[in-house]
Amino acid sequence: MAKVQKAQQAAKVQQARARAQQARIRAAKAQAAKVKARQTVSVARAVYKKPVVSKTTYRKPVSNIRSPQPVGVRSPQPVGTRGNAVSKQYAQRRAPQKVAQARPVVRKVVHRAKTAQSRPAVRLASRTQKPVQRTAYRKPAKTAYRKAVYRKPVVNRAAPKRAIPRIDPNNSFGYALSNAAIERTKHRVRYDGRYLKIGYPWGDVPKSIGVCTDVVIRAYRKLGIDLQSEVHKDISKDFYAYPNLTKWGLDKPDPNIDHRRVYNLQAFFKRHKAELPRSRNPRDYKPGDLVTWMVGPTFPHIGVVVNKPSPSDPNRLMIAHNIGAGPVIEDILFRYPMTGHYRYTPEHRKVNPALHFAKTPPPASVLKKRRQQQASYAQLLQASKYLNAAKPATPVVDTQAKSNSKKPARIYLAQLDSVLAAGSSNLNSAAVQALLKK
């Protein structure tokens, strides 16, 4: 749009110039007519001819953009002498006069590559001059504004329930158990885990020997809790909930050794809701807690957390245990793979495992053994026929008096199997019928 406006302005200027030129031509014609009339009357005079001096005109360098060239019309030459002002004007302006069109023609702009010939001499000469030192432009420093930081509003919410409850150090069973375990480290005890027959309840092996479980049992007895009787009562109610059969092949509870085994203590604490979650945070283990590890592939271990911080980490408490060198206090909380974390207090003695756990059924091996020992239906039928057979005559005796004085003897499956195998009968029909009724 800017180029079109410039072209229109140039056309208007050309039109104004053309009108002025026509007015000058008309004035020149009138003047020439007056001069001609005078020449006819007056004497011809010699006219001085002013020499024409050729002047070098400055030529503007050709630009890449060409302005629109209107179609021009050659104006008529004036008649008269060359010495007057009119002839000089026409001599200097020999170029034909051009008349601009009403609507200029807009040509396409062509950008040509610049060459050494098209550049002006002034610019070529300026290259040899020293460059002008210009002051470096410095960008104005921006004003530093402090960014607004959004802060989420704090909502006062209730603290989540802790998985591991806190302990009150002023009135705590755990601190008392910790002190009892620390006191056990002052005794000289040789590590010995052999089977010994002991009394029941409150039975104990000799004081000079013991294992890791004896540290726990003797610490609880210092506070009036006998784990021997507690474990034996629970194992008698649900024998197969303990690993006595699978680990040691026992078929009934044994108060001499049951409470001295780590696996049985783990099952006892779990059934009485004394188990706590295991974690790698040392703050979760409080004085009086019980921790179990697996020291070897088949060697479980148990210890008591005491109220003595570790020298390497004040947040981690040490353990009172006996792993072979007698009762000692060491920093072994995370030394071995942990298998259990428990906190057994007098409140857990009130828990009835029968209300929380169903009675464990006997394993398949026990059921199979029972089926093998039982007499089949065919064997019982054969025994009943054999016993009901006619017996040889016997001397007449007062059988009624005998029956009133002696009751029929009880019959057992083992006795019945021996009778059937030997073929002799020491049983009466009443005993077999009593067995069949059962």
Biggest CA pair distance of the chain: 216
Residue that wins the pLDDT comparison between 32 and 167: 32
Residues 285, 318: Cα–Cα separation, whole Å: 10
Give residue 146's identity as a one-letter amino acid code.
Answer: R
Asked whether residue 290 is domain-assigned, the answer is yes
Q: Within this chain, do residues 329 and 180 fall inside the same structural domain, yes or no?
A: yes
Q: Within this chain, do residues 382 and 346 fall inside the same structural domain, yes or no?
A: no
Tell me the HSE value of 391 on the side-chain side, using a 13 A CA sphere. 11
Domain count of the chain?
A: 3
Q: Within this chain, do residues 347 and 222 fall inside the same structural domain, yes or no?
A: yes
* pLDDT over 70 percentage in the chain: 64
Asked whether residue 162 is domain-assigned, the answer is no
Q: Which long-range contacts (CB under 8 A, 24 or more apart) does 148-154 make?
A: none
pLDDT tens digits for range 316-356: 999 999 999 999 999 999 999 999 999 999 999 999 999 99
* 145 three-state secondary structure: coil
Asked whether residue 63 is domain-assigned, the answer is no
Q: Within this chain, do residues 217 and 335 fall inside the same structural domain, yes or no?
A: yes
Judged against a pLDDT cut of 80, whether residue 99 lies above it is answered with: no
* 308 three-state secondary structure: strand
Q: Within this chain, do residues 179 and 244 fall inside the same structural domain, yes or no?
A: yes
What residue numbers bound the domain in which 415 lies?
Answer: 374-391+398-437
Radius of gyration of the chain (CA): 65
Mind giving me the DSSP string for 162-198?
Answer: PSS----SSS-HHHHHHHHHHHHTTS--EE-------
Give the angle subtended at the CA of 175 by the CAs of 169 and 177, to the nearest 5°: 160
Q: Within this chain, do residues 383 and 346 fall inside the same structural domain, yes or no?
A: no
- Measured torsion, CA atoms of residues 190, 193, 196, 200, in degrees rounded to the nearest 10: 90
Q: Within this chain, do residues 307 and 202 fall inside the same structural domain, yes or no?
A: yes
Asked whether residue 301 is domain-assigned, the answer is yes
Q: Within this chain, do residues 232 and 296 fall inside the same structural domain, yes or no?
A: yes
Asked whether residue 26 is domain-assigned, the answer is no
Q: Nearest-CA neighbor of 208 among 192, 226, 194? A: 192
Residues 35, 44: Cα–Cα separation, whole Å: 12
* 209 three-state secondary structure: strand
Q: Within this chain, do residues 319 and 416 fall inside the same structural domain, yes or no?
A: no
CATH number where 323 lies: 3.90.1720.10
Residues near 256 by Cβ (< 8 Å), separated by ≥ 6?
195, 196, 197, 198, 200, 203
Judged against a pLDDT cut of 50, whether residue 170 lies above it is answered with: yes
| Confidence grade of residue 125 (pLDDT, cut at 50, 70, 90) | very low
Q: Within this chain, do residues 189 and 272 fall inside the same structural domain, yes or no?
A: yes
* 152 three-state secondary structure: coil
Written as six digits, the tokens of 294 are 């697996």
Asked whether residue 308 is domain-assigned, the answer is yes
Q: Within this chain, do residues 249 and 321 fall inside the same structural domain, yes or no?
A: yes
Asked whether residue 177 is domain-assigned, the answer is yes
Written as six digits, the tokens of 113 are 């590559």
pLDDT for the residue 211: 96
Residues 375, 432: Cα–Cα separation, whole Å: 13
Of 136-150, 165-179, 219-233, 374-388, where does the model show the most confidence?
A: 219-233
pTM above 0.75, yes or no: no
Q: Within this chain, do residues 311 and 410 fall inside the same structural domain, yes or no?
A: no
Average pLDDT of the chain is 77
Asked whether residue 269 is domain-assigned, the answer is yes
